[in-house]
């Protein structure tokens, strides 16, 4: 089979046509509008874009029941969040004086402080005052004090004991009371706390009517 050889003139003409097509394509691109680049939508909501608008809950914050919350000690960064709860009261379970900054926040927002000083000692030198827990429960279960926040230092032991006794009054089974306590205390759970909750007598508080009881 004989191969046909393209004459030199035809090769030159073909190259000239290709070059002309490339140039015409470039000329067309010069006259076209550049593609429009749309910015990606922001993934951060405008209301949370600035630090001033952020709502930061305190350490170990959780809802216990309607109008009842628990947490660790609130910092100044948590004030905006606490304000959103429309609190009437704070139940404070530490013996140390309430910090001036926190006291000013309570006064500015019409929040009443109920302090029940319970020492936060480590085992085996832990003695939980039964009477203070009872008095604190009366405050917690009074609808006139709600919404309210219960807190100690870390929101684990003293707060955990008070909430555990509340659960007994709400007729929770003991295993559920301990499960909730462990969720907050974790590796710091104390046998003495659990023994206190187990032996706590709710019979003298049955006239109180907590929600879901």
Indicate the DSSP class of residue 92. E
Count Cβ atoms within 10 A of the Cβ of residue 92 and give its class: 0-12 exposed, 13-18 middle, 19 or more buried: buried
152 is catalytic: yes
The partner residues of 91 in beta bridges, in order of sequence, read 114, 150
Q: CA-based angle 205:208:213, to the nearest 5?
A: 100
Active-site position among 152, 161, 165, 213: 152
Assess contact for 140 and 167: CB atoms under 8 A.
no
Assess contact for 74 and 132: CB atoms under 8 A.
no
Indicate the DSSP class of residue 172. -
Q: What is the phi-psi region of residue 37: left when phi exceeds 0, alpha when psi lies from -120 to 50, beta otherwise?
A: beta
Distance CA 133, CA 141 (A): 12
Distance CA 68, CA 140 (A): 7
- Just list the catalytic residues: 152
């Amino acid at each position: 089979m004989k191969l046909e050889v393209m004459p030199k003139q035809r090769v030159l003409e073909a190259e000239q046509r290709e070059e002309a097509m490339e140039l015409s394509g470039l000329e067309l691109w010069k006259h076209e509008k550049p593609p429009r680049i749309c910015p990606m939508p922001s993934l951060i909501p405008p209301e949370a874009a600035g630090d001033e608008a952020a709502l930061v809950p305190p350490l170990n914050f959780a809802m216990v029941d309607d109008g009842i919350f628990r947490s660790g000690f609130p910092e100044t960064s948590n004030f905006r969040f606490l304000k959103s709860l429309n609190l009437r009261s704070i139940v404070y379970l530490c013996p140390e004086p309430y910090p001036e900054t926190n006291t000013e926040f309570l006064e500015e927002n019409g929040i009443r402080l109920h302090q029940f000083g319970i020492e936060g000692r480590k085992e085996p030198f832990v003695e939980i005052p039964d009477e203070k827990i009872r008095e604190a429960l009366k405050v917690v279960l009074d609808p006139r004090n709600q919404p309210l926040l219960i807190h100690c230092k870390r929101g684990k032991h003293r707060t955990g004991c008070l909430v555990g006794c509340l659960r007994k009054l709400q007729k929770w089974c003991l295993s559920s009371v301990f499960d909730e306590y462990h969720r907050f205390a974790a590796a710091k759970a104390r046998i003495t706390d659990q023994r206190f909750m187990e032996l706590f007598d709710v019979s003298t508080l049955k006239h109180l009517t907590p929600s879901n009881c």
